[in-house]
Amino acid sequence: MTLLKSGIITTAIFSFALFSGSTALAKDTALKPIPSTLRGTWKGAYTTTDAGYSFTLTVSKYRLTQNGIKFNMQSDRNSKSSTGFIMSNKPNKKGYWKFTLTVSHDKMYLKRTKKNGKTALIRYSYDTHRKPVVQYLFK
């Protein structure tokens, strides 16, 4: 009888440790959604010293889609997904949210604003020559 009780207690303690550890792990890997102010379908033109073309950026809760190419939010900063990105935990002091591609570490900054009385999304990034590119995208 004593052996049975000690076996039940050991199982209960092991189960508690297992379940409490898995909830902590779930909290660490939980994704924070993209802010609703950035979400929607935005259209603009990409112009650099080398090229220029129109494009569409669709921002949803956990995904960015640019001209049909989908990028999914990752919880692991070390992920090597070719279509993954990491979002900053909060905007920087100028109000821009940072998005970083997990493979190339290319960065893009997004901020909702007004331009000429219209709602706009500022997309700040860098071209292939490491020159800043600022674009205004409209709904």
Q: pTM, whole model, 2 decimals?
A: 0.73
- Are both 24 and 67 inside the same structural domain? no
Alpha carbons within 13 A on the beta-carbon side of 103: 7
- Are both 97 and 129 inside the same structural domain? yes
Tokens representing 44 are: 């603009």
Residue 90 lies in a domain: yes
pLDDT at 10: 37
Mean pLDDT over each residue of the chain, to the nearest integer:
80
Query: Which is more confident, 7 or 44?
Result: 44
pLDDT at 20: 36
Find the domain containing 90 and state its range: 40-138
pLDDT at 3: 42
pLDDT at 30: 72
- Are both 111 and 129 inside the same structural domain? yes
Q: How many CB atoms lie within 10 A of CB 65?
A: 15
Q: How far apart are CA 139 and CA 55, in angstroms?
A: 12
- Are both 58 and 86 inside the same structural domain? yes
- Are both 123 and 88 inside the same structural domain? yes
Residue 107 lies in a domain: yes
pLDDT at 29: 54
pLDDT digits (tens, 9 = 90+) for 45-100: 877 666 678 889 999 999 999 999 999 999 887 887 889 999 999 999 999 999 99
Query: Which is more confident, 8 or 60?
Result: 60
Q: How far apart are CA 55 and CA 74, in angstroms?
A: 24
- Are both 66 and 9 inside the same structural domain? no
pLDDT digits (tens, 9 = 90+) for 25-41: 334 457 899 999 999 99
pLDDT at 48: 64
Residue 26 lies in a domain: yes
